[in-house]
Chains A and B, each alone.
Chain A
Amino acid sequence: MNTIIKILYINWPLQILIFATALFGFLMLYSVSGGSWEPWTKPQINRFFVSFFLIFLMSIISISFWRKISLFSYFLGLALLIAVYFYGDTGMGAKRWLDLKIIKLQPSEAFKISLVMALAYYYHKLPVDKVSHPFYVLVPLLLILIPAFIVFRQPDLGTALVIIMIGIFVMFIAGVHFGYFLFGGLSFFTLLIILFYSRGTEWQLIKDYHFKRIDTFLDPSVDPLGSGYHITQSKIALGSGGLFGRGYMQGSQSQLNFLPEKHTDFIFTTLAEEFGFFGTIGLLIIYSLMVAFCIFSALGTTDKYSRLLITGLCMTFFTYFSINIAMVMGLLPVVGIPLPLVSYGGSSMIVIMLSFGLIQSAHVHRNNRF
């Protein structure tokens, strides 16, 4: 009935850009596997088309439905986080994965959506005069910090920080008084200083390898064959791409395995090496346009839940690609964050497609059109 019309109301430019980015991804995966559909390209394509269809499905479901399940989704996410803490698969010294037989899920990734939904729902329901009330500021803070702490204990410092960042961002958009952020910012820096002072003491707050990553981030030459190796090789790949790149499947760095995680977190470097400056800026522009379309969509709706949901999820997407690109260029320490829609991996693909499903649903149902 309404379905066809709803489909027409979808944010088509955004949808096309998603498709375009994914194509970039297939191209790169085909290249890093040495010109082969296996082992990465084919599963990635299958995954993409299934989840692409999911976006359409989600966008025709009313936004009020999504709003209603916000809190449920939050607590489900929290439960999964706790479950992974106790039953999760250990990989690379951290428990991050939950094997649900059908899919290997990384609950900390999926939780980013749940958090944005819950916070949007919270501010949607909160009377406007209580937004900056200290108690009502404390509640969302707890909603953010409790799961962040669990993720931090997995241990996954990077994701924990991203979760906090996204949560605080939603609170900022929701209109909480500016003073809180000023205060929060100052406390954060104080904490940072304490963190560095704790190094080597009994009450050291983070693990040694975190410190080591920060060290090599600050100066990759400290450990050129250890942790710094990734960054050095990755910068070589990026830089050697030049203006036009070395040509598709011609990148020596990626084709010869000098790059770490070349099909996942470091896939941007292959793109940079093989397509050069035009390729990287092209992808950056596509990502920026996607963010811009989301922002316009948020500004174009009056529904508070929708606004907060779109900006929050858009922020999640933004953190993915900006942190990933900054990381491979050596601007940020190496944290396990994939390049959205391009990196190989089911978990991040599902999470990103789910967020776009929600964004599209909010877009389609803006101003209570239906």
Chain B
Amino acid sequence: MSRFKETTLKSKLSKRIHRRIVLAGLLKASAVTLLGWNIRKLQIEDSEDYKLLADANRVNLRLIPPSRGLIFDRLGTPIASNEQNYKVVFIREQTNEPDRVLKKLSNIIDLDQKRQNKILQDMEKRSSFIPITIAENLTWSDFARISVNLPSLPGIIPEVGLTRHYKEYESYAHVIGYVGPISEKDLGSETPVDPVLQIPKFQIGKVGVEKKMEKHLRGSAGVSRVEVNASGRVMRELNRTQGRSGENIHLTIDTNLQKFTSERLRGMSASSVLMDVSSGDILSLVSTPSYNPNNFVLGISQSNWNTLLNDVRKPLLNKATSGAYPPGSTFKMIVAAAALELGLIGLNDKIFCSGFYELGSRKFHCWRKGGHGKLTLQEAIQKSCDVYFYEIARKVGVKKIGAMATELGLGQSYNLPLTGVSKGFVPTKKWKKQRFGTSWLVGDTLNVGIGQGYSLATPLQLAVMTARLASGKKVTPNLIRNVDTEQGDPKTLSIRKETLAAIRKGMFDVLNEKEGTAFNFRSTDESFSIAGKTGTSQVRRITREEREEGVIKNEDLPWKMRDHALFTCFAPYKDPKYALSVVVEHGGSGSKVAAPIARDIMLFQIYGGIPPIKAYPEKQQATVRNRLLNIAEKIDLKPIINPNI
């Protein structure tokens, strides 16, 4: 290669390099332009959209739970309140040795190794700044000890929260119900969804007044707008709107009476309703056995739950409104009223009871084997003669009996804030045809006439019935004092005064005449005499053979087969103020079992406390005295009225 050629080549290459550097420079310039163009699009053209997105990133809404409305009794005593719940939470990021901190804590409060391990596991799963609850419902002294030892417990933070607390839980469990953490199912039934429900573990009413009055009790959530970072940690609060706490509710129930009733029914599977005959205010509504609703608030354990569920005496059921029983002889007032109203029988007309009533080849028996002989209506109620009521029931017919039952409050539900309320049942001919495909028989009417057969009533309905008979007004029960107040005076019943007077007199005689079925359980204080009606409803059929050999006594039957004992009454007879019903499931005879209970409760209400011993017949005073003192001690109530007791 010549030197010249090399020089030419060199300069040629040099020029090429020069060109290519310039070319590369231009390419770079266009790349930069492209970048600039893109930046322009992001930062100028679409900027507004991105600003919104950035704010959405940054701002979180935190809901502040409202404090739930309180529930008071008629006298303003709190029944359901929000108690301070002392708890400790743990924030892992504040210590390097969470296990050692927990160990130290376990010296102060009860925290076994298993629980410690579970807490450590839980912490692994979550961000280190999220507080984890370690223990709840601590006693004040535990809480104080932890607070004092805080310097040696890094990461542990004592907190005070609010939890629902039911003070008189045992007697009130079925009325108030309980709250519990919201479930998916609860959310589904709620439209539109209240934002407050998004708070994890937010407590809502599950049963009873807590559930039915949820709207009033809940209140509305406050909102706190907070700035959060990418991992969700709150950096600061931007602003806050206060929520509204729930409304307080005043019940019509009188706590002393409620507690007394509950204590009087202890050990039985029973229920009782006492109401004011003119206003319809329910002064006590008790079902036993009861349960502790406080256990449900923080979540009930499976074993506790199973125990409650498998108990044959059904503690979870509110028997006063959900239990529907054959009303038995308490139904006889309805039949009597219907017959009198229709003029099918006069007050002085007598019917002969031979101990049974023959319908074709079938015999319908009276409870009294030898029969009652000749009876007027008043005597028939007093002695609870079955044959008399077979006779007049047959004359009245099922249709008119049903109409009277409805007029007196059976077979319907009332606007009460309770869950699982039963409507009871008033049978009709049409219903039997549809249900069983067979026609209504006269025998069916006879059975209905003495409160057996198809008709069903709840203890609440029996109380309403009695209240209506006692007042002559179409009273409806109510449980809440401050919400939906003015209902106006109840209408007058479409039953003549004479009819009502005759029935009331019959009921008076049940307790106050020698042969009355509950004569033993009268009140001897004549200004406060009680009028009532016993009822014993069979839960089994008595066969002819058994009847011939002699009906098996209740005490010899298994519990489930025994009769229900019923009693319904009002007092004082001269100026009725209160109506009361008592039903003891499988308790045996209404006169022996339900009537004495009803008397105690009624007298307690009339006297406004433990009744004086002089209200009881002399022979019973010793046992009654012991019983009442016993109850007074248990419910922590001094015998207030009569120092002689």
Docked complex Cα distance between A298 and B29 (Å): 16
**Known contacts A175-B20, A329-B38; A242 and B14 CB within 8 A of each other:** no
| Complex CA–CA separation, A311 to B53 (angstroms) | 42
With A129-B9, A322-B32 given, is the CB distance from A238 to B21 under 8 Å?
A: no
Q: Are B46 and A322 in contact (CB under 8 A)?
A: no
Contact of B39 among A280, A292, A302, A322 (CB under 8 A): A280
Are B22 and A299 touching (Cβ within 8 A)? yes
Q: How large is the interface on B (under 10, 10 to 19, 20 to 34, 35 or more residues)?
A: 35 or more
Contact with A along B34-52 (1 / 0, CB 8 A): 0110111011101101110
A residues less than 8 Å from B228 (CB atoms)? 256
Are A295 and B43 within 8 A (Cβ)?
A: no
Segment of B229-237, B506-514, B633-641 in the binding face: B229-237
Interchain CB contact under 8 A, B36 and A284: yes
A307 surroundings in chain B (CB, below 8 A):
17, 21
Answer whether residue A288 sits at the interface, using C-beta atoms and an 8 A cutoff.
yes
Which of A129, A233, A242, A325 contacts B51, CB < 8 Å? A242
Q: A258 an interface residue at 8 Å Cβ cutoff?
A: yes
Is the CB–CB distance between A256 and B58 below 8 Å? Answer: yes
Q: How far is the CA of A237 from the CA of B6 in the complex (A)?
A: 57
Q: Tell me, yes or no, whether A248 is within 8 Å of chain B by CB.
A: no
Q: Which residues of A contact B57 (CB under 8 A)?
A: 233, 236, 252-253, 256, 258
Are the C-beta atoms of A238 and B39 separated by less than 8 Å? yes
Cβ contact within 8 Å between A238 and B43: yes
Given contacts A295-B21, A322-B32, contact A277 B40 (CB under 8 A): yes
Q: Closest approach, in angstroms, between the C-beta of B488 and any C-beta of chain A?
A: 60
Give, as a whole number of angstroms, the nearest-CB distance from B172 to chain A. Answer: 49
Shortest Cβ distance from A258 into B: residue: B230
Contacts of B170 in A (CB 8 A): none
- Any chain B CB within 8 A of the CB of A169? yes
A315 at the A/B interface (Cβ < 8 Å)?
yes
Q: Is B13 at the interface (CB under 8 A from chain A)? A: yes
CB–CB A240/B54 < 8 A:
yes
Beta-carbon contact of B229 and A258 below 8 Å: yes
Question: Which residue of the partner chain A has the closest CB to B229?
Answer: A256
How would residues 4 to 23 of chain B score, 1 for a CB under 8 Å from any chain A CB and 0 otherwise? 00100110011011101110
Q: Is A333 an interface residue (CB 8 A)?
A: no
Asked if B560 is at the interface of the complex by the 8 Å CB criterion, the answer is no
Which residue on A lies nearest to B46, using beta carbons?
A239
Contacts of A258 in B (CB 8 A): 57-58, 229-230
Given A173-B24, A239-B49, A252-B57, are A304 and B39 also a contact pair (CB < 8 Å)? no
* B490 proximal to A (CB < 8 A): no
Q: 1/0 per position for A210-242, CB-CB distance to B under 8 A? A: 000000000000000000000001011111111
Q: Is the CB of A288 within 8 A of B230?
A: no
Shortest Cβ gap from B579 to chain A (Å): 65
Chain B residues, CB < 8 A from A326 = 35, 38
Is A241 touching B43 in the complex (CB atoms < 8 A)?
yes
Partner of A236, one of B1, B16, B50: B50
Chain A residues with CB under 8 Å of B25's CB are 291-292, 295
B53 near A236: Cβ-Cβ < 8 Å: yes
Q: Does A298 contact B16, Cβ atoms closer than 8 Å?
A: no
Contact B20–A172 (Cβ < 8 Å):
yes
Q: Is A29 an interface residue (CB 8 A)?
A: no
Interface bits B233-256 vs A (CB < 8 Å: 1, else 0): 001000000000000000000000
What range describes how many residues of A lie at the interface? 35 or more
Closest to A295 in B: B25
| Cβ B39 vs Cβ A240 within 8 A | no
Residue contact B20 to A173, C-beta cutoff 8 Å: yes
A173 to B21, CA, bound (A): 6
Per-residue interface assignment for chain A, residues 249 to 281, with 1 indicating a CB less than 8 Å from any chain B CB and 0 otherwise:
000110011110000000000001100110011
Smallest CB separation, B303 vs chain A (Å): 41
Compute how far the CA of A298 lies from the CA of B28 in the bound complex, rounded to whole angstroms.
15
Nearest residue (CB) in B for A256 is B229
> Are B6's CB and A128's CB within 8 A?
yes
Would you call A76 an interface residue if the criterion is a C-beta within 8 Å of the partner chain's C-beta atoms?
Answer: no
- A269 to chain B minimum Cβ distance, whole angstroms, is 10
Q: Which residues of B contact A281 (CB under 8 A)?
A: 36, 39
When distances are taken between beta carbons in the complex, the residues of chain B under 8 Å from A349 are: none
Number of contacts between A and B (CB, 8 Å)? 137
- Does A122 sit at the interface, judged by CB under 8 A? no
**Bound Cα distance from A295 to B6, whole angstroms:** 27
Q: In the complex the two chains form, what is the Cα distance from A325 to B38 in whole Å?
A: 10
B50–A235 touching, CB < 8 Å = yes
- Of chain A, the residue at the smallest CB distance from B45 is A239
CB pair B47 A252 closer than 8 Å = no
Chain A residues with CB under 8 A of B13: 128, 131, 175
**In the assembly, what is the distance between CA of A36 and CA of B108, in Å?**
41
- Within 8 Å of chain A (Cβ to Cβ): is B31? yes
Assuming A257-B231, A295-B25, A311-B24, is B43 touching A288 (CB within 8 A)? no
Q: How far is the CB of B51 from chain A (nearest CB, A)?
A: 4
Which residues on B sit within 8 Å (CB–CB) of A241?
43, 47
In the complex, whether A359 has a CB less than 8 A from a CB of chain B is: no
- Tell me the bound Cα distance from A257 to B228 in angstroms: 9
What separation, in Å, do the CA atoms of A184 and B25 have in the docked complex? 21
Bound: A148/B6 CA distance, A? 34
Q: Please state if B47 and A288 are interface contacts (CB–CB under 8 Å).
A: no
Q: Is the CB–CB distance between B35 and A322 below 8 Å? A: yes
**Nearest CB of A to B50, in Å:** 3
Which residues of the other chain, A, contact B210 by a CB distance below 8 angstroms?
Answer: none
Which residues of B are found within 8 Å of A128, using beta-carbon distances? 6, 9-10, 13
Measured CB to CB, the nearest residue on chain B to A296 is B25
In the assembled complex, how far is the CB of residue A89 from the closest CB belonging to chain B, in whole angstroms?
25
The contact of B235 among A129, A256, A272, by CB within 8 Å, is: A256
| Least distance between B393 CB and chain A CB atoms (Å) | 75
Query: Could you tell me if A240 and B24 are in contact, using CB atoms closer than 8 angstroms?
Result: no
Does B227 sit at the interface, judged by CB under 8 A? Answer: yes
Q: Which of A259, A315, A322 has the most CB of B within 10 A?
A: A322
- Among A256, A257, A298, A302, which residue has its beta carbon within 8 angstroms of that of B21? A298
Interface residues in B461-479 by Cβ distance below 8 A to A read: none
Q: Which residues of A contact B50 (CB under 8 A)?
A: 235-240
Nearest chain B CB to A288's CB is how many angstroms away?
A: 5
Complex contacts, A318 vs chain B, CB 8 Å: 28, 31
Instruction: Tell whether, in the assembled complex, residue B39 and residue A329 are in contact, meaning their CB atoms are under 8 Å apart.
Output: yes
Most buried by B among A240, A304, A318, A325: A240
Assuming the A-B contacts A256-B229, A258-B230, are A276 and B43 also in contact, with contact meaning beta carbons closer than 8 angstroms in the complex? yes
Within 8 Å CB of B39, what residues of A?
238, 272, 277, 280-281, 284, 325, 329
- Interface status of A163 (Cβ within 8 A of chain B): no
Cα separation A40 to B40 with both chains bound (whole Å): 30
Question: What are the residues of chain A within 8 A of B21 when measuring CB–CB?
Answer: 173, 295, 298-299, 307, 311
Tell whether A174 is near chain B: CB-to-CB under 8 Å.
yes
Closest to B49 in A: A239
Assuming the contacts A288-B32, A329-B42, asked whether A257 and B229 have C-beta atoms less than 8 A apart, the reply is: yes
Q: Which residues of A contact B14 (CB under 8 A)?
A: 302, 304
What residues of B have a CB within 8 angstroms of the CB of A315 in the complex? Answer: 24
Q: Are B35 and A325 in contact (CB under 8 A)?
A: yes
Complex Cα–Cα for A199 and B20 (A)? 37
Given A243-B44, A277-B40, A253 contacting B54 (CB threshold 8 A): yes
Q: How far is the CB of B46 from chain A (nearest CB, A)?
A: 5
Interface membership of A331, Cβ < 8 A: yes
C-beta contact mask, A291-331 vs B, less than 8 Å → 1, else 0? 11001001100101001100100010010001001100101
Closest 4 pairs between A and B when the two form their complex, measured CB to CB: A239-B50, A240-B54, A256-B229, A242-B47
Q: List 11 additional A-B contacts (Cβ < 8 Å) besides A174-B17, A257-B231, A273-B54.
A: A128-B10, A129-B6, A236-B53, A242-B47, A243-B47, A252-B57, A256-B228, A311-B24, A318-B28, A329-B35, A329-B42
**A-B contact list, 18 entries, CB within 8 Å:** A129-B1, A129-B6, A175-B20, A237-B50, A239-B49, A240-B53, A241-B47, A243-B44, A256-B228, A256-B230, A273-B54, A280-B43, A281-B39, A295-B25, A308-B17, A311-B24, A329-B35, A329-B38
